Homo-oligomer: A and B are copies of this chain.
Amino acid sequence: MARCRKCRQKKADVFIPHHRLPLCKEHFLEWFEEYLARTIKKFKMFSPEARILVAISGGKDSLVLWKALDNLGYHTEGLFVDLGIEDFSLISRRVAENFAEEIKRPLHVVSIKKESGLTIPDLKSRTKKYCSLCGSIKRYFFNRFARQNNFDVLVTGHNLDDEASSLLSNTINWQLKYLARKYPVLPEGNGFVRKAKPLCRFTAFEIKEYARLQKIEYLTERCPLSPEATRLVYAELMDELEEKMPGTKIRFYMDYLRKVYPIFNRQVEDFLDRPLTQCETCGEPAVSSPCFVCKLKAEAKG
């Protein structure tokens, strides 16, 4: 491998394809954190003083995000939502806790079993759409915890590969409701806290390299319940396009944000099936009352 483009002395440890940049360990880490800071600034995600809640799964994205934000001097705390998926949840939680100890930041844990009486495996036997329901449940608890504890912003580890492939999926299916809200920062309002995706311009490869060089131990297992067949179709298509036409992912995503998002977002009211209301039981924002979590709770009791 070539020499580092920055110091021109050390051998490069990482080559970043879409920036055509060979960098040594030190300058890769520096580049990564600077680029993260620039992304946060570019999208006006949050201020340097913000109290940030990091959604922690134990995977590479959430831990790398936490580490890099911490290195940049941000005030961060982590939240792990325990989904009750047997060994998978136990191991994820341990990985998250070990990491939090290492970087000496607080990690909060919310157990959906304690909160609602249910676990995700219970849902699997009730509905086919348990993957998307699980996503909604996580968002519910992350949002509620962030709001109740006065965090300024909730950040998640979604990376460029995630964002580009979900954009492709939303586009192929013309899901205007999702497209109109597909932006790496969403303002506070209607009971929702401010949300941001600071890793939205980083590829999975760059994130893995950061984890490797920082010696972050993360969970590599995928959720055992979820084949995620459909999501994988779009991820693979995006990878194919990227291989045949390098730079496609970042262009597709960034051009969307710049040129198309504003057009769809202006019409967001038209796209909403139902306006938001508030759940009369738990007080959280919901499309109807009681909200889906309170309904699940009631079912679990009954």
Contacts and interface: CB of A to CB of B under 8 A. Distances in A.
A277 interface: no
Interface string A156-192: 0000000000001001111010000000000000000
Interface string A237-266: 100110011001001100110011001100
Q: Specify how many copies of this chain sit in the oligomer.
A: 2
How would you classify the secondary structure of chain A's contact residues: helix, strand, loop or mixed? helix
A233 interface: yes
Most buried by B among A173, A174, A251: A174
A176 B245 contact: no
B252 A174 contact: yes
Nearest to A270: B263
B233 A244 contact: yes
Contacts of A47: none
Interface of A: 168, 171-174, 176, 230, 233, 237, 240-241, 244-245, 248, 251-252, 255-256, 259-260, 263-264, 267
7 contacts: A172-B248, A176-B259, A230-B245, A233-B244, A237-B237, A263-B264, A263-B267
